[in-house]
Structure 1
Amino acid sequence: MNYTRFIIVLTAFFLLNIGKGNLYAQEKSTLWSLEECIAHALKHNISIKDAQLDLELMEVDVLQAKSNYLPSVNGQATNSWNTGLTQNITTGILQTQTTRNLSLGVTAGVDLFKGLVNLRQLQRAKLSQLSSQYSLDKMENDIALFVINAYLEVLINKQTLAVLTEQNNVTLSQYKRTQDLIDAGTLPQGDILEIEATNADEQQQIINAENNIRIALINLAQLLRIENYSSFDIPDQTYEVPMALILEKTPQEIIEIAKQNRYEIKIAESNVAVAEKDIALAKGNYWPSLQAFFNYNTRESGANQILQSGIDPAQPTMPIGVVETTGQTVVAPNYLVEEVSPKPFFDQLSLNDGISYGVQLNVPIFNGFSTRNSVKRSKINAERAKYKLEQATLDLESDIYQAYVDAQGSAKSFEAATKAVKAQQQAYQYAKDRYDVGLINAFDFSQSKFRLTNAESNLIRAKFDYIFKLKLLELYFGINPEDIQL
């Protein structure tokens, strides 16, 4: 992104956020300083709040990655009703019955080895968390820069109004003097008409300047999410141009510092680290995994019990087969059985419980090349992340060179505007002296005053444009946005 696009995107970014959500009520009625405006914007801007939520999500991901080291514990409970020929879960006997069966179980498992996947997931989560923090910091820098620009726009309009008002006061004074000279017969009646026209034009410019101030204040208030526009204002200060110490640095010096401090570079670097960690994660699926498990289960049934109550006295034995070689009948005791009510609930759970435990080894042999393809995709994404880092570095260098050249150009424009004002002040004074003695008419005098007003307005805009360009370079040089002062 080049320098011009940076400013355009930043402007659009904030304009899109103006309408989101309800504006905060203004909490103070005093004049707002630049530092207070920046602090308020950083606290209440919706996009910053959204970025803070992204950071909180990354913190959850880190916590989840740490939780992967903990064992998993799951409980199971099944209560079912069966009708017909079903197995009695407590005896294992098939019976035609309608019964209720309950089974309970708890299973625990823990990864003993998983190809270092858990470790790399934790490392990746921490890198993503760092990237989100950088994104939040970059957004705060951008917002501070835009607030500075909006703040300076208010100051430009205020000082422009002051110049127009001062010049109009001169016009009103000249109106009275001209009228006296006309009454004395020194000047023609037509000269007063020219001054009246000039006064009307200046009054219109003053109204436009007042409107521009209100619009600029509303824009700044909207950026700060303050809804009480009527009482919002900033001090009427005349800021001096700061010392341009930053221009004593070479662009390369600023670039080297920016590479270490600018968040767009840090974001790109952290994204490269995340992409490389994704490669290691994908390769972890080549490794076998080993898990340990433990299971406890028990069951209970509402079916009646079938119990042996002794040998049948009427038929003590019953044939169960024949010896093939001798033909002798084989008999067994013939027990009587009886159906009784099921045992108490907790007695069944105690009698029917069981435990199983062990380890399970899973060795990947063939999975349709999914692991290999996953590794390839991760490598491609890592290359793309490296290209983005390279592009971010190139964009930063281009932006800094552009900002440096703009700052130098603004310095020259400010110097030229200063000289123009001095020249127009001399020309105006000369015209005034000649007008006072009747050597020039009111039209020529009005033109001289108009050129002075225009030069003073250009000087105001050139001065604050120069200040803004210097502050932009300071941001690139690593100055905290909350520490920026006009």
Structure 2
Amino acid sequence: MKRNRFFYLGMLIFGQLALAQKQPMTLMECVTMALEKNITIKQSELRYQDAEINKSDAKGNFLPSVNAQASHSWNIGLNQDITRGTLENQTTQFTSMGASVNMNIFNGFRNFNQLHRANLSLLASQYQLEDMKDDVQLMVANAYLQILFNIEILAVQKAQLEISQQDAERTQQMIEAGTMVKYDLLEIEATIAAQEQSVILAENNLRLSKINLAQMLLITDYENFDVVTMDIDAPMGQILFQKPKDIFEKALTHRNDIKLSITNISIAERDIDLAKGSLQPSLSAYYGYNTRVSYADRLIGNGAFSEVPIGFVSTTRDQVLRTVEGTDVVGPIPFGTQFDRNAGHNIGLRINIPIFNGNSARNNVERSRVNLLRSQNQFEQDKLNLETTINQAFNDAQGAFKFYEAAEKTVLARKRAYEDAINRYEAGVMNTFDFSQIKQRYETAASDVVRAKFDYIFKIKVLEFYFGITISL
């Protein structure tokens, strides 16, 4: 009983490991993993976090700055002993502490402009991140389609190899029947060898395409990586009924690279306002508080009075006396009492009026204006690049569709020619060389139609992506 329990447990674990080792992935799963793992996207996410921190800094500029300080000092050296009235080497201690508050009241609206700029920079970082994700999605979709293309090419090569092997068997039977000679079989065997090489090449291309996609997903276990195999029909291509101008206008409304260019113009405009703010006066308020505490002993009156001679009258020589209260040495005044008694406050306003600073402030304004023109030119260039890319993608998609239609017609014609050649070959009215030539043309046409189909699919998906349609198969 225990042995059976371990057996079933082992089979369960083995099955789970096998499932975990090779679980085919869909296109959406690959895209999701790429967006999560792509290092460039992670770097862009960090830049977005930096922009959030900069926004927090801009908000903090509206708050006052508060600082506190404290010090404790020891004075070591020659000091007067208040109990004896003599100079002695002593150590005295003092504590001082304080706090200050500073707040900007007006600084040329730089705080408001800085906050507005921080919001725009955060938005620009978001657009940059989303634009990078768009690029990654296209790359993953292309790599995924390349795998499916190589799968179909491999299937075509294997099917052609199987047909050639059937031709070899048919030729062998005809040789045995005396209707053909051995040379005819050698020609077909050479064709089989060439097709076996094509199968090996197709298998290698399929393996390389899987490795390429796995590397995009940062998967190191290439051998156990696979995608979901599916039969993909060429789409109807409804996007081709749109005009390139309409696709371009639609792309302007949702493309993140265009949004980024527009946001950069707004940032440049805000930079001009920031630079102008340095030409205006600034006003700030400040408040300070300080106090100090001494730890030295002190003399206080004890209520006992005595008369102490202080001199003589010059004319009568009578002694002059002064009543003096006796003193006792006691410790320092309590800390809290000194803290309140010695407290001091200072409050005021500070104004700073820029008069001349070597034209650096005005040059910063001009520099910001130049940067605005640069951002505007970049926006126009980005629009031009987008329009050019869409026009080219539209023409490529149209051309790919026509090429695919022609390839389908070609493969049908080549197939009929091959089927007719089989009948003529079996009837003995066609030699092996001519039969092999017709078969090779059919094989080439079969491969071309697969290549044309996937080329058309990808170009349609690219065009749809520019139109705002999510990539899917």
CA distance in 1 between partners of 2:329 and 2:358 (Å):
56
Q: Tell me, which stretches of 5 or more residues in structure 1 are unaligned? A: 1-25, 88-93, 319-330
What SS class does the counterpart of residue 286 from structure 1 fall into? coil
- Give the equivalent residue in structure 1 for 2:308: 314
CA distance in 1, matches of 2:77, 2:375: 64
Q: Give the 5 Å matches for 1:74-113.
A: 74-84=67-77, 98-113=91-106
Aligned AA (1:444): D
- Of the three residues 405, 411, 414, the one matched with 2:401 is 411
Change (3 A) 1:203 1:81: same
Q: In the alignment, what sits opposite 1:297?
A: 290
1:257 aligns with 2:270: no
**Shift in alpha-carbon separation, 1:95–1:399, aligned structure 2, 3 A:** farther
SS in 2 for 1:47: helix
Q: Which residue among 163, 174, 177 is the counterpart of 1:181?
A: 174
SS at match of 1:463: helix
- Tell me the alpha carbon deviations over residues 416-440 of structure 1, each in whole angstroms, 9 at most, x when there is no partner: 2112211211221122111111222
**Native 8 Å contact 1:103 1:298 kept in 2:** yes
Q: Does 1:393 align with 2:383?
A: yes
Contact 2:308-2:324 within 8 A present in 1 as well: no
- Map Cα deviations across residues 286-315 of structure 1 (whole Å, 9 max, x no partner): 222222222221112334446688998434
Contact 2:150–2:206 at 8 Å: present in 1 too? yes
Structure-1 residue corresponding to 2:358: 368
Structure 2 equivalent of residue 200 of structure 1: 193
**What's the secondary structure of 2:354's corresponding residue?**
coil
Determine which of 442, 445, 460 is the counterpart of 1:455: 445
Q: Is the 8 A contact 1:316 1:334 kept in 2?
A: no
| Alignment of structure 1 residues 61-210 onto 2, 5 Å | 61-84=54-77, 98-210=91-203
Higher-Rg member (1/2): 2
Match of 2:5 in 1: none
Give distance in 2, aligned partners of 1:85 and 1:143. 77
Work out which of the residue numbers 410, 414, 420 in structure 2 matches 1:424: 414
* Residues 362 and 427 (structure 1), Cα distance of their counterparts in 2 relative to 1, 3 Å cut: same
1:485 partner amino acid? S
- 2:465 aligned residue: 475
State the SS of the aligned residue for 2:228: coil
- Match of 2:25? 32
Question: Hey, what's the Cα distance between the residues in 1 that align with 2:380 and 2:311?
Answer: 94
Bigger relative contact order, structure 1 or 2, given CA contacts below 8 A and separation 6+? 1
CA contact (8 A) 1:315 1:334 kept: no
Query: What TM-score, normalized by structure 1, do the two folds share?
Result: 0.84
Deviation string 1:112-158 (CA, Å, 9 cap, x unpaired) is: 22211111111000000000110011011110001111011101110
Name the residue aligned to 1:44.
Answer: 37
What secondary structure does 2:278 align onto?
helix
- Residues 287 and 364, structure 1, Cα contact 8 Å, conserved in 2: yes
Structure 2 matches for 1:194-343, cutoff 5 A? 194-305=187-298, 313-316=307-310, 341-343=331-333
Cα distance change of structure 1 residues 98 and 373 upon mapping to structure 2, 3 Å threshold = farther
Structure 1: which amino acid aligns with 2:133?
E
How far did residue 389 of structure 1 move?
1.0
**TM-aligned CA deviation for residue 240 of structure 1:** 0.8
Cα shift readout 1:367-421 (whole Å, capped 9, x = no counterpart): 2322212212111111111111111111111111111111111112212211221
Q: What secondary structure does 1:51 align onto?
A: helix
| Alignment partners' CA distance in 2, 1:73 and 1:441 | 100
Q: Per-residue displacement from partner, 1:164-199 (whole Å, max 9, x unpaired)?
A: 111111111111111111111110011111111111
Distance 1:332 1:395 in 2: 104
| Amino acid paired to 2:147 | V
Separation in 2, partners of 1:188, 1:244: 52
CA contact (8 A) 1:81 1:100 kept: yes
8 Å contact from structure 2 (residues 407, 452) kept in 1? yes
Aligned 8 A contact 2:309 2:322 in 1: no
The secondary structure found in structure 1 opposite 2:96 is strand
Q: Name which of 440, 456, 459 aligns with 1:466.
A: 456
* CA distance in structure 2 between the partners assigned to 1:370 and 1:82 by the alignment: 48
Alpha-carbon contact 1:288-1:362 (below 8 Å) kept: yes
- Cα deviation for residue 337 of structure 1 reads 8.0
Contact 1:101–1:301 (CA<8 Å) still a contact in 2?
yes
Contact 2:286 2:349 in 1 (8 A): yes
Q: What value does the CA root-mean-square deviation take over the aligned residues?
A: 2.7
Structure 2's unaligned 5+ residue stretches are 1-18, 81-86, 313-320
> Residues 396 and 95 of structure 1: is their aligned pair in 2 closer, same or farther, counting only changes over 3 Å?
farther
Task: Report the secondary structure of 1:368's partner residue.
Answer: coil
Q: In 1, distance between residues paired with 2:390 and 2:89? A: 87
Of 26-35 and 428-437, deviating more is: 26-35
* Contact 2:461 2:471 (C-alpha < 8 Å) held by counterparts: yes
Q: Secondary structure at the match of 1:221?
A: helix
Deviates more, 1:165-174 or 1:346-355: 346-355
TM-score, normalised relative to structure 2: 0.86
- What is the match of residue 12 of structure 2? none
Q: 2:30 corresponds to which letter in structure 1?
A: C
Instruction: Give, as a single letter, the amino acid of the residue that structure 2 aligns with 1:368.
Output: G
Q: Please give the alpha-carbon distance, in whole angstroms, between the structure 2 residues aligned to 1:396 and 1:66.
A: 36
Structure 1 pair 97–156 and aligned structure 2 pair: CA distance change class (3 A)? same
SS in 2 for 1:233: coil
Question: How many positions carry a matched residue from both structures?
Answer: 441
The 1:102–1:432 alpha-carbon spacing in structure 2 relative to 1, beyond 3 Å, is same
Alpha carbons 2:308, 2:323 under 8 Å: kept: no
Q: Report the counterpart of residue 20 of structure 1 in structure 2.
A: none
Q: What is the letter of the counterpart of residue 67 of structure 1?
A: G
